[in-house]
Chains A and B, each alone.
Chain A
Amino acid sequence: MKRPSAFALVANQTRYEWRIFWRTPISAFFTIFFPLLIFVVFSLVFGNERIDYLGITTAQFYAPSLAVFSAVSATYTNISISTAYQRDEGILKRVRGTPLPAWIYFVGKILSSIAIAVIGTLIMIGVGIVFFGLQVYPETIPTLLVVFFVGVAAFAALGLLVAALAPSGPGATAIANATLLPLAFVSGVFIIPSEDMPTWLNAVANFFPLKHFVEPFVAAFSPAATRSSFSWLDLGYLVLWGVVSLILAIRSFRWEPPTGGGGGRSRRASAKSA
Chain B
Amino acid sequence: MAVVTVANLTKRYGDSEAVAGIDFTIEEGEVFALLGPNGAGKTTTVEILEGYRDRTAGDVDVLGYDPAGNARAFKEQIGVVLQESSVERDLTVREAIDTYGRVYPKRLVTGDLIDIVGLGEKADARVKTLSGGQKRRLEVALGIVGDPDLIFLDEPTTGFDPSARRQAWEMISNLSTLGKTILLTTHYMDEAQNLADRVAVINNGLIVAEGTPDTLGGRETAHTTIRFSLAEASIGDLPLAPTLVEGPVVEYRTDEPTAVLHTLTGWAVGRRVALEGLTVARPSLEDVYLELTDGEER
Q: Which residues of A contact B (CB under 8 A)?
A: 1-4, 8-9, 12, 16, 19-20, 23-24, 86, 89-91, 93-94, 96-101, 256-257, 261-267, 269-274
Contact = CB atoms under 8 A, between A and B. Distances in A.
A273 to B, nearest CB: 4
A274 B78 CA distance: 28
Interface in B135-189: 135-136, 139, 142, 146, 158-161, 164
B213 to A, nearest CB: 25
Contacts of A12: 99, 102-103
Contact of B84 (A16, A99, A266, A274): A266
Contacts of A98: 75, 80, 100, 103-104, 146
B50 interface: yes
Given A16-B99, A96-B52, A3 B105 contact: yes
A29 to B, nearest CB: 15
Nearest to A271: B159
A2 to B, nearest CB: 6
Contacts of B50: 97
Contacts of B158: 267, 271
B16 interface: no
Given A12-B99, A97-B80, A274-B160, A269 B132 contact: yes
Given A94-B82, A266-B86, 9 more contacts: A19-B91, A20-B88, A90-B86, A94-B142, A97-B78, A98-B80, A98-B103, A98-B104, A270-B133
B83 interface: yes
A256 B133 CA distance: 23
Interface in B87-105: 87-88, 90-91, 95, 99-100, 102-105
A20 B90 contact: yes
Contact of A20 (B43, B91, B139): B91
* Chain B interface, DSSP helix/strand/loop, else mixed: loop
A4 B52 contact: no
B84 A90 contact: yes
A253 B76 CA distance: 22
A263 B85 contact: yes
Which 10 A-B residue pairings sit nearest by Cβ, starting from the closest? A262-B84, A270-B132, A266-B86, A90-B85, A23-B90, A97-B80, A273-B132, A274-B132, A271-B159, A99-B75
Nearest to A256: B52
A168 B226 CA distance: 60
B52 A263 contact: no
Nearest to A15: B99
Contacts of A20: 88, 90-91
10 contacts: A2-B105, A12-B103, A90-B86, A91-B87, A94-B139, A97-B52, A99-B76, A263-B85, A273-B131, A274-B132
Interface in B48-93: 50-52, 72-73, 75-76, 78, 80, 82-88, 90-91
With most chain B CB atoms within 10 A of its CB, the pick from A3, A97, A99, A101 is A97
